[in-house]
Amino acid sequence: MNQCCFDVRAWATVSQQHNIKEILLSLLQSTIKMDDAIKTKGEAELADMLQKSLKRKRYLIVLDDIWSCEVWDGMRRCFPTEDSAGSRILLTTRNNEVARNAGIENLSMQMNFMDQDESWNHFKSAAFSNEVLSSEFETIGKKIAQKCHGLPLTIVVVAGLLKSKGAIEDWESVAKDVTEIPVKNLMRSWMDEGFLKLGNDLEGEAEKCLQELVDRCLVLFCKKSLDGTKIRSCKPFKRVTGDEIDYCPYGLYRELLTPVHRQLRDHDNNDLLKRTHSIFSFHLKDSYFSGLQSELIHFKLLKVLELRDILIDNFPVQILSLIWLRYLSLQCHVNLDIPPEICKLWNLQTFVVQVLPVFIGRSVLITYPEEIWGLMQLRHLKVSKFYLPNPPNVSADKGSHMGFSNIQTISYLSLDCCTNEVILGIQNVKELGINGYEINFNSIWDSGLLNNLVHLQQLETLSFIGCFPLFPASASAFPATLKKLMLRFTLLSWSDLDIIAELPNLELLLIEYNDLKYWKATDDNFPVFERLVLNKCRYLKEIPIEFAEIHTLQLIKLTRCLPELGESATRIQKEQEDLGNNPVDVRISIHSHHTDDEFDDDEDDDDDYDDDDDDDDEENSYVDVAEDNDNDSDADAAERDDN
C-alpha cells in the first residue's frame, strides 16, 4: 500500500494491558501538534480531537495487538463515519473473536505460521544476533525453534530469554517434547475443578473455552476428528515466565510439586492441606500410599483425587470424608465392593476405576451399592466391568425410580444389569459400554435385555465387549440417535451386520477381534455411514463391494487383517473414483496401533473414533498437589444365499 495515498498515517500498539487514553495520545501524535495541555485531557475530549483531526482526510490507522472486543468497541467510535472514502483501519489480533467483531464487511486475513526455515532464521536473529554458532547450539536451537510451532511471538520471547542462558543444559530442557493432552481429559479437568459456568451442557461450554484458547494461540491443536470439526488432542505453547522457562504439562493447576520422599511431611504446620484442590499421583510406590491415605481426611476442599498406579484391595474409607470431591480415579486388581457411604460424595461427577492389563483376564468386577444412585451430579462412570443394581423407588409408585439425570458416559456395564429399571435410570447417557464376559446366558436368554436400549434416546456411542449371542434381532431395538458402534470380542455373524446396516444415523462401525469370515450386504445399507474400522479380523477376506455406493463413506481403516481384505478396500476406493465420488481414504497397518487390552476404551491417539485417553506419560515418581464364534454357521448361511 503506497504511503502517498494517505494524508495521515498513525500507529498504536494496544497489548493486553491496554489504556484507551494512551492509545488515543499515540494516534494524535501523528495527526496534530502535541503539547502538555493535550496530555491532561480526558478520554472523551481526546476521542473528539482525534475524530475532528481525521475528518475529510484519507487516513491509515494501525491498531496493533488488540486482545479483546471491548477495546475495538471503545475505539471505533473515535473515527469519522462520513467522508472517509479511501481510508483504512488495520487491526492485528490473536483473538479470532476480535476479527469477527470488526464486521462482516471488513476483510479478515488469517496469518500463516512460519515454516521451519523462517522459524529458525527468526529465532537465530533474536537469540544470537550476528554471533557465530557452535554446531551444538545450532542443533538444539533448531529443535527449540520447531517447538515454537511457527508462532512469531513465542519465538521472540523464547529466543530473548535463552539469549542470556549460556549453558547447553538450559537449552536442552526447553527442547524437550511437549506431551499431547487428550481433549476429553482436559475438559473433564476443567469441569471437575469448577472452572466452567454451571449448566447442563458443561461439555459444550468446555469446547467453547478450548476453541478460544486455540484462537488466541495459547493452545495448539495436534489432532482433529476426521471431519475437522472437533479437536481430539492439543498441547499448550511453551510458557515463559520471569527468568526461567516453566512448562506445566497440563498448564492448569500445578502450583506445588512435592517429591515423594518429602510428601506432605513438611507441611503439617501450615494450611496447605486445607487449600489443596487436587492430588495426582503417578508411578507412586504402594508403600507411600499408606502415608497419603492417612492424610486424606485433612484435605477438606479436595475436588480431584487421582491415584494412578496404586493398586488397592479395598476402597479407602478416608475418601468418604471428602464431600467436595468431583473427580475420583482408583486402580485395583481384585474384585472391589464400593461401600454404601459413597452417597456422601454428593458432588462427584467422574468416577473411574482402572484395572491393569495384566489383571484383565481375571475379570475384575466392581460392585456398586444401591446408594450410588444418590450421586445426582454424576456425569462419567468408567470401569472395566461393574455391577449396577436397580435404582431404588422414589415414591410409593413402584414405577418411579431414581436416576442419573446428568450422566454422559457409562462403561463398562455388565450385560445382566441392562434391566429396564437401570436403562431408564441412565436414559440421558450419550456414551455406553456393555461388558458380556462371564455372564450366565442361560439365566437371561429370553430376557431381551438389549431391547431395553431403545429407551436411550440421547445415546450416540455404544460399545460391546465380550460374547453377545443375544444380539438384538432388529435395528429398531437400538436408539435412532446412535452414531458410533464398537464391537470387540463379539460373536458377530454377517446376519447381525445386516441389522447394523439399517441403523439410520450410524456414522462409525468398529469391529475388533472377530472371527467373521463372510460379510454380505445390500444396496441400501448404511445410509449416512462415514468410517469403517476393522482391527484384528483375521479371517475376513472381503468388504462388500456395495460399500462403494455409500457416497458418505470417508475412511476404511484396517489393522492386522488379511491382505485380501486390504485388496477389497482398494477396489472400493477405485470403484468410488469411477462413480465420481470423493475417493475413500484407505489406511492399512500390519501393526496394532492400540494396546491389546480388550477393556481399553480409553485411547484417543487416533482421530478415527472417539474413545477417551486416560493414559499419562509421566516419568517421575511424585505426588502432584495443586490448589483432574460361529464361523461354520456364517459359511453355511453364505452358501445357502449363493444357492
CB 461 within 8 A of CB 483: yes
Residue 248 has pLDDT above 60, yes or no: no
User: Which grid coordinates are listed for 226?
Assistant: 476426521
Give the CA count within 13 Å in the CB-facing half-sphere of 25.
Answer: 15
SS (H, E, C) 83-149: CCCCCEEEEEECCHHHHHHCCCCCCCCCCCCCCHHHHHHHHHHHHHCCCCCCHHHHHHHHHHHHHCC
Q: Is residue 535 very low, low, confident or very high in pLDDT (cuts 50, 70, 90)? A: very high
With cell 449416512, the residue in question is 528
Nearest residue to 352 via CA among 305, 388, 303, 293: 305
User: Which grid coordinates are listed for 386?
Assistant: 461393574
Q: Which of 9-18, 85-94, 403-412, 599-608 has the lowest mean pLDDT?
A: 599-608
Averaged confidence pLDDT in the chain: 77
Mean pLDDT of 8-35: 87
Residue 382 has pLDDT above 90, yes or no: yes
Mean pLDDT of 220-238: 75
Q: Where are the domains of the chain?
A: 8-102, 116-177, 181-222, 495-592
Greater confidence (105 vs 47) lies with: 47
Peptide bond preceding 437 in cis form (omega within 30 of 0): no
Mean pLDDT of 23-43: 87
Q: Which of 209-218, 243-252, 284-293, 393-402 has the lowest mean pLDDT?
A: 243-252
Collapsed DSSP state (helix, strand, coil) of residue 390: coil
Q: Is residue 397 very low, low, confident or very high in pLDDT (cuts 50, 70, 90)? A: low
What digits encode the pLDDT tens for the residues 549-587? Answer: 898 999 999 999 999 999 999 999 999 888 887 889 999
Rounded Cα distance between 450 and 379, Å, is 22
pTM above 0.85, yes or no: no
Q: Give me the pLDDT at residue 357, please.
A: 61
Helix 43-54 to helix 20-28 angle, to the nearest 10 degrees? 30
User: Which grid coordinates are listed for 512?
Assistant: 475388533
Greater confidence (249 vs 419) lies with: 419
CB 216 within 8 A of CB 226: no
Question: In a 10 Å sphere around its CB, with 0-12 CB exposed, 13-18 middle and 19+ buried, how is residue 265 labelled?
Answer: exposed
Give the CA count within 13 Å in the CB-facing half-sphere of 116.
Answer: 4
φ, ψ of residue 180 in degrees (nearest 5): -70, 145
Greater confidence (232 vs 442) lies with: 232
The torsion region of residue 611 among left (phi > 0), alpha (psi -120 to 50) and beta comes to beta
Q: What distance lies between CA 286 and its chain's CA centroid?
A: 30
Task: Tell me how many degrees the CA angle 609-612-613 measures, rounded to the nearest 5.
Answer: 115
* DSSP summary character for residue 401: B
Helix and strand numbers (H, E) in the chain are 18, 25
Indicate if the alpha-carbon torsion angle 177, 181, 186, 187 is positive or negative. positive
Residue 473 has pLDDT above 60, yes or no: yes
Q: What distance lies between CA 531 and its chain's CA centroid?
A: 20
CB 630 within 8 A of CB 491: yes
User: Which grid coordinates are listed for 208?
Assistant: 467453547
In DSSP terms, 532 is beta-bridged to 509, 556
CB 192 within 8 A of CB 628: yes
What digits encode the pLDDT tens for the residues 475-494? Answer: 899 999 999 999 998 888 87
What digits encode the pLDDT tens for the residues 323-335? Answer: 999 999 988 888 8
Mean pLDDT of 531-536: 95
Q: Is residue 592 very low, low, confident or very high in pLDDT (cuts 50, 70, 90)? A: low
Rounded Cα distance between 105 and 458, Å, is 40
Spell out the residues 6+ positions from residue 534 whose beta carbon is closer than 8 angstroms to its own.
510, 511, 512, 540, 543, 556, 557, 558, 559, 561, 565
